[in-house]
Amino acid sequence: MSRRVVWTSGAILAVVLVLGVLISLMYGGPSVAGPSTLSRRSPGWLGACRWLEAHDTIVQRTAIPFSTLPAHGTLVLAFPAQRAYATTELDAIDSFVRGGGAVVFAYSLDRPSVPETQAAAALGLELVGVDDEGPLAPWAWLRWARQTWSLEPAGSDHPEQPEQPEQPVVITAPHRLARVPQETQTEPVLQGGPDAEPMVLSYRRGRGRVLAMPAEALANGRLSNLGNLALLEALRATFDEPWIFDEHRHGLSAELPASSHVAARTFDLLAAHLLLCYLMAVLALARRFGPPWREAPITIGSTSRFLVALGRVHERMGHHERAATLLLERARKLDPDLELSRAEEAETDLLRLAATIGHKQRRPAG
């Protein structure tokens, strides 16, 4: 198989793989990701959920889109999330908090997703960016991207406020902050950044309460810090149970709908067709379209090489006998006294005849 066929088949295989990945992303089922209570990764909240359960706190996970919520408890909305909210879900969140429930809005520190923007608007929050685009130099940018903030207590001793941890809460330097509109009645900020940026804040909404905080503050990768763990314990001691985690937003489903099975079969058929097209293309390229074509060698060299090549042509075409006859005729014309035996004259090998004639001509006369 030629190099061209190998490269072409490799390119076709790469295209097939890319198309397969795109189709799987479009039709494949969602996966659990982000600040989910089922995720063991660094951004996950499995550690926080285990801590609550270890301290006899009732924990619930929603695996379906909710249209109603219980009359009391704490609803946890952690971001970033994968699935957008329906209008009925946003109305249910607003009714829940206005009816006396508590909502923990754990916002992401980067660009907000559509579900995060929807939930923030339903709770009266605004997500604003931080005016810090970072340096352009690569190494300086890496140091800037790895910066951390230590959040210090900045609140009051209001009885409804969570007890503030003595140790600082550590998070990655944010690119996005949550703000409460000025018309909303807001209690003092609980935790602030290096320049007193409000990072953990609480405010009343109807008869309920909303607490906005960075999701990374309670992530698995941060709970080893005493300040972050103390913040989780303060929230557990302040807010009522059950703690309801919206896991449907992170890909958890109670059961797969019928459409997902249809999508899975559709993906299998598309993958089979792509594989068949790839095999047919490889077979078509690997098969020779005609007889092999060999380029004629370029004869560039000295005169001796040319004469040798010319001699090989005569040898291949069988010109020795005719050449020997001509050689003998020319030799007799040049030397009429040339004496050769019958055996020597009958010689058909051109080289031997030429050697014999040369030897006879070199011998001195008499």
- For the chain, domain boundaries: 1-29+256-287, 32-131+148-252, 303-362
Residues of the chain short of pLDDT 70, as ranges, are 1-10, 16, 19-33, 131-134, 155-165, 181-189, 254-265, 297-302, 304, 362-366
Predicted local distance difference test score (pLDDT) of residue 28? 47
Neighbours of 71 (CB within 10 A): 9
Let me know: does 46 contact 38? Beta carbons within 8 Å: yes
Would you give the DSSP letter of residue 206? T
176 to 85, 161, 169, 213, 261: CA distances (angstroms) = 21, 24, 17, 11, 38
Q: Using alpha carbons only, what angle is made at residue 282 by residues 279 and 284, rounded to the nearest 5 degrees?
A: 110
Q: Could you give the count of Cα atoms lying within 13 Å of 181 in the half-sphere of its Cβ?
A: 10
Would you give the DSSP letter of residue 186? B
Extended strands (E) in the chain? 59-62, 74-78, 102-107, 126-129, 148-153, 169-172, 176-179, 191-192, 198-205, 208-214, 243-246
Cα distance between residue 221 and residue 224, in whole Å:
7
User: What's the CATH number of domain 32-131+148-252, 3.30.450, 3.40.50, 1.20.120, 1.10.150?
Assistant: 3.40.50
Cα distance between residue 229 and residue 319, in whole Å:
102
244, two tokens: 């309801």
DSSP 80-136: S-SSPPPHHHHHHHHHHHHTT-EEEEEE-SSS--HHHHHHHHHTT-EEEE-S----S
269, two tokens: 């058929």
Let me know: does 67 contact 20? Beta carbons within 8 Å: no
Predicted local distance difference test score (pLDDT) of residue 97? 94
- Report which residue type is found at 47: G
Cα distance between residue 305 and residue 6, in whole Å:
38
For 26, the 3-state DSSP assignment is: helix
DSSP 238-249: HSPSPEEEE-GG
Instruction: Using CB atoms within 10 Å of the CB of residue 165, give its burial: 0 to 12 exposed, 13 to 18 middle, 19+ buried.
Output: buried
Predicted local distance difference test score (pLDDT) of residue 213? 92
For 191, the 3-state DSSP assignment is: strand
Nearest to 322 by CA among 339, 330, 337: 330
